[in-house]
Structure 1
Amino acid sequence: MTRKAPRPTAVSPDPVLPPLARLEVRNLATIQTLDLPFQEGLSVFTGETGAGKSIIVDALGLLLGSRSNTDLIRTGEDDLLVTGHWAEEIASRRVSSQGRSTARLDGEVVSLRELQEWAQRRLTIHWQHSAVSLLTPANQRALLDRQLPAEHAAYASAYRTWLDARTRLERLRASERERARQLDLLQFQAQEIAQIAPQIGEEEPLQADLTRLSNLDTIAQSAAHALSLLSDADENALGFLNEAVRALNAGARYDETTGQLQTELREAVASVQAVVGELRAVAEDQAPDPEELARVEARLGALGKLRSKYGPTLDDVLTFHAQVEDELAALTRDEQDAGTLDAEVAALHADLTRVGAALDAARRKRAGPLAQDLLDVIRQLGMPHARLEFQLSPLADAGPHGLSDVTLQFTANPGEDLAPLADVASGGELSRVMLAISTVLGADTPAVVFDEVDAGIGGSAALAVAAQLRSLARTRQVLVVTHLAQIAAQADHHYKVEKSVEGGRTVSRVRRLDQQERLEEVARMLSGNTSDAALQHARELLHAVS
């Protein structure tokens, strides 16, 4: 008796993250402009062969950081632009005909990696070539370890602790001469910087002092010249100012404004006299001080030497000094610990082996039920004779992810031995295995896209794939590019991609179909026409879903 497909066991995606609400595309391949709203549930994209159905997937792939290709830019245009809207958040990517790519999040320019990390939390694309990721042992192991977060985290922690201790031990086992040479170098560097004791920001005032000390004669001469003009010459500024004050005496008796101006002139005289006093000190006290000049030059030279060796800035020098001190402390600590480190590494390795054995035991316990859950779905997807199991192969020594390799063994054909999935699965089989994984384990994002997941199937298998996609759409926004009427009939929202020639140029357009248009499109997919018989068949298929 055929078992029912299991419910997804993975938790739903973060409810804070919304599904894709809208996609805008400009100058991508045969699309000139596109503004496409999306809803939750299952959305399908259909159309004639060659209409450009997968362009939608290509556009979303650009937001996920896929490699840009100038061939995607519409002929004659300078660039393409893809913009995705997630509630109040907006992500976009522009690719120019020169190959430059600009990514933005909410209008702010970001790196392509930042855009990729942001989008990967909101969108997953399963295209046929991406299903190839299932072929790597690391991804096959991750499928199983996703079910064992506590055991995997415990092993990862034990592995890091053991690896750090082993690295220290290997460093200690290096030749004594090399360690002594390193200690001598570090001690010299630390002492050289400590003796000079540089201070952040001290170079600028020192440079100003050097400039002043190097130009004392010029400073004194300019002060003396100014003194001559202000007070020391036979005719000088102070004399003229004082005469101007006296000249206003008569008028000040009779005019308040004149009196006020006389007062202001007296204040000016006082200010000039103060300046004269300071200038005289400058002119008379600027005797060169060779020792001070030598001290400043020596300090600047010492700081410059440090910057040339450990710089380029004093901040860099001090950072380097802190690193040297840390390395010295580590080497000293290593020497002190040398007597006990061997035993510590051995004890940590024993603990790692224990934790690794517990991880392998948990893997073996979970592998059978998980493989059976996947197999229940896979057999409904057009592979009734498929077999699948997780195989654990012991490693020669502990690795970063455990004591064993984990690989998926698979066969789709009766009478065939199990073999590594990478060796025996076709592209279509890989896509359906990926769909089974998404159904059983759930997707990690609120939106999931499938491109040509129905390759090479039909009949009852197509119905099973459609049912699985609809089931997945209960907890995710699912977008599917398909050529199968059985899948299209399951959709909550049906979009058609159409290609036409306008003004001598090929143009692809995407529109959402109404009820009658959808009936005709499903009929076309079933029979290649919209005859009465085809329309009746389409009605039956759509009615069976509703």
Structure 2
Amino acid sequence: MTRKARAPRADKTAALPRSPVTAPVGPALARLEVRNLATIRELELDFAGGLSVFTGETGAGKSIIVDALGLLLGSRANTDLIRTGESDLLVTGFWNQGDVGDMSASRRLATQGRGVARLDGEVVSVRELQEWAQTRLTIHWQHSAVSLLGPANQRALLDRELPAQTEAHAHAYRAWQEARARLEGLRANERERAWQLDLLTFQSREIAETAPQSGEEEPLQAELNRLAHLETIAQSAAGALTLIMDGEENALGFLAEAVRALNASARYDDASAALQQELRDALDSLQAVSGELRAVAEDGAADPEELARVEGRLGALGKLRTKYGPTLDDVLDFQAGVEEELAALTRDEQDAGSLDADVEALLAELRRAGSALDAARTQRAAPLAAELLAVIRELGMPHARLEFRLQPLSEPALYGLSDVTIQFTANPGEDLAPLSDVASGGELSRVMLAISTVLGADTPAVVFDEVDAGIGGSAALAVAEQLHRLARSRQVMVVTHLAQIAARADHHFKVEKAVEGGRTVSHVRPLSPDERLEEIARMLGGNTSEAALGHARELMAGQGAL
């Protein structure tokens, strides 16, 4: 979604000209709109490239702008930021995307209910908003500079130029972990696997010994019924045989008489002859049936062995159905599954023997990759530390020392065989110690500035808060120079109380508080050249006397601002 153009409004800040000295590498923050944040009632600011500074009296709320941008970066939802008496606050940022127009990101917090994050008007999660904004904006404030304290971030400073070594180690680590996890799983489940093997082997053997066939039960059941009722079958056959041929008067005798009765008429009548022939055929069929009936009648006793065989087969099949059924086809499906599981468990047994050697070989390869990564880190560590230290010493810490130290891990990790920590001291005569233990907030911010200057900021826009804490004089000039240098390739914003930094700005904003309608309200506005001179004079001497203005004029001329 492209933001619609806005007409200038008299009660809002005017658009700023683009800085001629910068060309930010990526989408720049073009506009910030804030409503009901702390002492801000409503604010609209337009930004440009280069170095922008925010100044103001102590307590004016200079860091409110940083708080607003922090919300777009997914900082914790703190409803205390909502202006007293209001139900919600809203922060919206617009990033210049070149030919495709502006993209917007917004965050709303509410005193009641959940807040809402949006990207180009579409509702997203705070995490999605954070991931999007983190590619465009970085804030270095005292409580966010702690990110530099994490070993992962300190390690990343060395690894950013070692992609081949880090990827080779990560690949070797994953292969080792996968093999080791499989081996450990096999060992941990050894007893259960043995039990499972015994059970599956028994089940497979039990079904295989019976060797069931699909559909064999129905004919077996029919045969069992026949064998169980042979006496009844024989008696019925004998009774039928009596009626057909063995009785004094029987069907065969009557049929024979009927054939003879048609002899006379068959000589003269074709129809009678045909009927006589049909009777002869029926007589033949009846005689054949009689033979079969006699065989059935004489077989009146079941073979005990055959009866036992059929009963036994049906019993065996029924037992399988009870255990593995309910149908015979289910038994056969179960048998197929058992064979598959047996094959897998057998492979596991075989693998457990060979995996041990594989794990050792993969661990050896991992250690080779880790050693190569450590060697590359060591080679990179000293030059990078020297580059950073040169800048840090310019930033008001002339006695600072810094080095990257590799500390071996008890066992390999995804990121290497060693952890990386920055060892630091800002004071002469003090031993090096972990940066997280000895650096103050202001020192951390200046270390971050040195990193951004030497390695380049990771995002097109960079914001510094409290980077000038505890410095002045030549150190302040050095910090100003570093910020100005960084602003040649990035959009840089700084909250500062130092005139030396403000004098190097391409754009100067002032944060002021006023009482309106009995309520404190903060305003942020860009300064004209004359207003900027007065503000820098105030920052230098606390007033705008001719002497202070002259000093400010000299400082700005020396910084190339006039």
**TM-score (ref. length: structure 1):** 0.70
Q: Distance in 2 between matches of 1:116 and 1:181?
A: 51
Matched, 1:433 2:447: yes
Q: Distance in 1 between matches of 2:184 and 2:193?
A: 12
Residue equivalent to 2:414: 400
Q: Is the 8 A contact 1:408 1:421 kept in 2?
A: yes
Q: Distance in 1 between matches of 2:181 and 2:559?
A: 62
Q: Distance in 2 between matches of 1:333 and 1:115?
A: 48
Residue equivalent to 2:503: 489
Correspondent of 1:46 among 55, 59, 76 = 55
* CA deviation after TM superposition for structure 1 residue 438, in Å: 0.8
Q: Which amino acid aligns with 1:466?
A: A
Q: How does 1:386-535 map to 2 (within 5 A)?
A: 386-535=400-549
* CA deviation after TM superposition for structure 1 residue 99, in Å: 5.4
Moved more, 413-422 or 54-63: 413-422
Secondary structure of the residue aligned to 2:521 is strand
Q: Is the 8 A contact 2:24 2:49 kept in 1?
A: no
Q: Which amino acid aligns with 1:18?
A: P
Q: Is the 8 A contact 1:68 1:99 kept in 2?
A: no
Q: Distance in 2 between matches of 1:330 and 1:441?
A: 53
Q: How does 1:235-250 map to 2 (within 5 A)?
A: none
Moved more, 370-379 or 432-441: 432-441
Correspondent of 1:96 among 90, 110, 133 = 110
Q: Is the 8 A contact 2:27 2:460 kept in 1?
A: yes
Q: How does 1:310-459 map to 2 (within 5 A)?
A: 334-459=348-473
Matched, 1:117 2:126: no
Q: Distance in 1 between matches of 2:342 and 2:122?
A: 44
Secondary structure of the residue aligned to 2:27 is coil
Residue equivalent to 1:74: 83
Q: Is the 8 A contact 1:13 1:446 kept in 2?
A: no
Q: Distance in 2 between matches of 1:535 and 1:186?
A: 95
Q: Which amino acid aligns with 2:528?
A: D
Q: Is the 8 A contact 1:70 1:99 kept in 2?
A: no
Structure 1: unaligned runs, 5 residues or longer: 1-11, 188-324
Q: Distance in 2 between matches of 1:541 and 1:477?
A: 23
Structure 2: unaligned runs, 5 residues or longer: 1-21, 97-101, 202-338
Q: Is the 8 A contact 2:187 2:352 kept in 1?
A: no
Secondary structure of the residue aligned to 1:406 is strand
Closer, same or farther: CA 483–326 of 1 in aligned 2, 3 Å: farther
Residue equivalent to 1:254: none
Closer, same or farther: CA 126–330 of 1 in aligned 2, 3 Å: farther
Q: Which amino acid aligns with 1:379?
A: R
Q: How does 1:197-276 map to 2 (within 5 A)?
A: none
Q: Is the 8 A contact 1:69 1:99 kept in 2?
A: no
Secondary structure of the residue aligned to 1:21 is strand
* CA deviation after TM superposition for structure 1 residue 545, in Å: 1.3
**Percent same amino acid at aligned positions?**
78
* CA deviation after TM superposition for structure 1 residue 525, in Å: 0.4
Closer, same or farther: CA 326–396 of 1 in aligned 2, 3 Å: farther
Secondary structure of the residue aligned to 2:515 is strand
Correspondent of 1:58 among 53, 64, 67 = 67
Secondary structure of the residue aligned to 2:188 is coil
Closer, same or farther: CA 521–326 of 1 in aligned 2, 3 Å: farther
Q: Is the 8 A contact 2:169 2:415 kept in 1?
A: yes
Correspondent of 2:149 among 125, 132, 135 = 135
* CA deviation after TM superposition for structure 1 residue 179, in Å: 3.2
Q: Distance in 1 between matches of 2:358 and 2:444?
A: 46
RMSD: 2.4
Q: Is the 8 A contact 1:13 1:445 kept in 2?
A: no
Find the structure with the greater CA-based Rg: 2
Q: Distance in 2 between matches of 1:448 and 1:96?
A: 28
Residues paired across the two proteins, number: 398
Q: Which amino acid aligns with 1:416?
A: E
Q: Distance in 1 between matches of 2:342 and 2:118?
A: 45
Q: Distance in 1 between matches of 2:94 and 2:187?
A: 57
Moved more, 367-376 or 133-142: 133-142
Q: Distance in 1 between matches of 2:453 and 2:27?
A: 20
Q: Distance in 2 between matches of 1:511 and 1:141?
A: 40
Secondary structure of the residue aligned to 1:437 is helix
Q: Is the 8 A contact 1:21 1:39 kept in 2?
A: yes
Moved more, 488-497 or 335-344: 335-344
Q: Which amino acid aligns with 1:52?
A: G
Q: Distance in 1 between matches of 2:441 and 2:461?
A: 23
Q: Is the 8 A contact 2:24 2:491 kept in 1?
A: no
Q: Distance in 1 between matches of 2:340 and 2:35?
A: 54
Correspondent of 2:161 among 147, 152, 170 = 147
Q: Is the 8 A contact 2:513 2:522 kept in 1?
A: yes
Q: Which amino acid aligns with 1:385?
A: H
* CA deviation after TM superposition for structure 1 residue 339, in Å: 2.7
Q: Is the 8 A contact 1:13 1:443 kept in 2?
A: no
Q: Which runs of 4+ in 1 moved over 3 A?
A: 12-15, 179-187, 325-336
Q: Which amino acid aligns with 2:44?
A: D
Closer, same or farther: CA 76–180 of 1 in aligned 2, 3 Å: farther
Q: Distance in 2 between matches of 1:27 and 1:423?
A: 38
Per-residue CA deviations over 1:56-90 (Å, capped at 9, x if unaligned) read: 00000000000011110011111000000012211
* CA deviation after TM superposition for structure 1 residue 425, in Å: 1.5
Per-residue CA deviations over 1:225-280 (Å, capped at 9, x if unaligned) read: xxxxxxxxxxxxxxxxxxxxxxxxxxxxxxxxxxxxxxxxxxxxxxxxxxxxxxxx
Residue equivalent to 1:223: none
* CA deviation after TM superposition for structure 1 residue 326, in Å: 12
Q: Is the 8 A contact 1:140 1:408 kept in 2?
A: yes
Q: Distance in 2 between matches of 1:22 and 1:340?
A: 63
Closer, same or farther: CA 181–485 of 1 in aligned 2, 3 Å: farther
* CA deviation after TM superposition for structure 1 residue 461, in Å: 0.5
Q: Distance in 2 between matches of 1:66 and 1:90?
A: 17
Q: Distance in 2 between matches of 1:42 and 1:182?
A: 71
**TM-score (ref. length: structure 2):** 0.68
Q: Which amino acid aligns with 2:124?
A: V
Q: Is the 8 A contact 2:23 2:49 kept in 1?
A: no
Closer, same or farther: CA 121–14 of 1 in aligned 2, 3 Å: farther
Secondary structure of the residue aligned to 2:29 is coil
Q: Distance in 1 between matches of 2:367 and 2:23?
A: 34
* CA deviation after TM superposition for structure 1 residue 39, in Å: 0.2
Secondary structure of the residue aligned to 2:86 is coil
